[in-house]
A and B are shown apart, each in its own frame.
Chain A
Amino acid sequence: MKTLTGYLRDDGRKGIRNYLLIAYTVECAHHVAREIAWSARHQGVQLIGFGGCAPNAYADRMMKILCTHPNVGGVLLVSLGCENMDKAGIADAVRASGRPVYTLEIQEQGGTESSIRQGRRWIKEILVSLKQAKRVPMAVHELAVGTICGGSDATSGITANPAMGRAFDMLLAQQGTAIFEETGELVGCEQLMAQRAVTPALGKELIAVVEKAKHYYTAMGYASFSAGNADGGLTTIEEKSLGAYCKSGNMSISGILKPGDRPPKGGLYLLDIVPDGPPKFGWPNINDNAEIAELGACGCHLVLFSTGRGSVVGAAITPVIKVCANPETFSRMRGDMDIDAGQILLGEATINDIAEQIYTKMLETAVGEATLSEQLGHQEFVLTYKQFYSSAKDGMFGKCIK
């Protein structure tokens, strides 16, 4: 197997990409940011941002953490000027991390045209220095990988998800970091999950976060198990949840993270994406990309994405490896699918064969090979209002983030 390499950051972490981020700090700055990014989208420039104007501590924290993600080499902040996002704090965090940063204020800059011109000039200069960065050796145990499923169908839980779980087991055997998510899809698996916790106290916490998710989704009017599930062959809520839960593999669970928490060491972690407190800003994550952004904020270098019906998304910052569960979908959408897990149904591969393929693809992606969604230019990104009570363990943003 290839030796991994990465870009060494001042905090000791290594990135598998060296992206230049263009980050808008309110929707009003989105167009200018996009015009700047679009001109250089094939040169490792990516666009992220937050649309809201009213302040939100979670969004501030997410932006600070994502702008200092190991895969990011520099940041251009594009601000209108009068919005409430903590853009000075974000710029300070990026500067303190040793990365180049520049804040473009459209109101101060004299409007759209001059801002776009100025932004393009700055990124042109920074791209030259980013291209000169050298990769250094990186160990597999320095790699953090997230997992998600989207556009699921009846095949997801019997091909792609179990295979991704075994790929996770392989990564964890090398002391890497693996993060799984969506507590709302784990209802019915709490006891099984608690048995895998490294301590009894963590087991209780795992049960509590799924309990929290159940209440939150019930308040949103979402039932965990529907008649349609039974029509599709699923009999119980625990069976349905196991189809998603098996993405987490079989290793012990080391801890629970909230979005932006960094795992203290290698191991398997559950990302608790459901906001704390009474439902406040609506649906926890409005789509798969909001979840991928949170996996990235926990330090994931890349994300494994299983799909049965055929999602096409990639993501800004974290390359996405698409694992297609359904062989018919694969034959229709092969240009978007990195791994054909449907071979398991056809009898052409075993779950272990596909797990090996996924593991190899993870390492190839880490070395720098572009995934299909990267090649196609996908860089979806979504960040919305949320509320979490403090759990920051990284010290950097340790204040209460209510």
Chain B
Amino acid sequence: MRQYIRLHDDDNVVVALDNLQQHHIIETDAEPLQLLDDVPPYFKVAIRDIASGAPVIKYGMCIGTSTETIARGQLVHVHNMCSNYL
């Protein structure tokens, strides 16, 4: 079983496929990434730092905007990003 899936090369988040614990280290194309939060299956983790107000990219497309600075390794969900759709 894979630990996560990256759906597109442009993505700044990946999707966890398993229960990943805080401090767990996952391998990436770049440097290994230490998780800053617990990440349940099918939730997203930032694989790059995302500035406040920057687009969150999944499937190579924008799925919303960060509402605060998100560090590489943080869980990305309703607490730190929002929809661009009104």
Interface residues of A (CB under 8 A from B): 154, 158, 162, 187-188, 192, 230, 232-239, 242, 246, 344-347, 351
Contacts and interface: CB of A to CB of B under 8 A. Distances in A.
Given A188-B85, A233-B15, A237-B85, A158 B7 contact: yes
Question: 8 tightest A-B contacts by CB?
Answer: A233-B42, A236-B83, A239-B63, A233-B43, A154-B42, A236-B64, A347-B2, A188-B85
Nearest to A242: B59
Contacts of A235: 44, 56, 63-64, 76-78, 81, 83
Given A233-B44, A235-B64, A345-B1, 14 more contacts: A158-B42, A162-B59, A188-B83, A188-B85, A192-B61, A233-B40, A235-B44, A235-B76, A235-B77, A235-B81, A236-B81, A242-B63, A345-B2, A346-B1
A249 to B, nearest CB: 11
Majority secondary structure of chain A interface residues (helix, strand, loop or mixed): helix
7 contacts: A188-B85, A230-B77, A235-B77, A237-B85, A238-B62, A238-B63, A345-B1
A236 B61 contact: no
A237 B62 CA distance: 11
A344 B1 CA distance: 9
Interface residues of B, number: 27
A154 B41 contact: yes
A154 B83 CA distance: 19
Contacts of B41: 154, 233
Contacts of B16: 233
Contacts of B40: 233
Contacts of B58: 239, 242
Interface in B36-71: 40-44, 56, 58-59, 61-64
Name, among A235, A345, A351, the residue most crowded by chain B CB atoms within 10 Å (CB to CB): A235
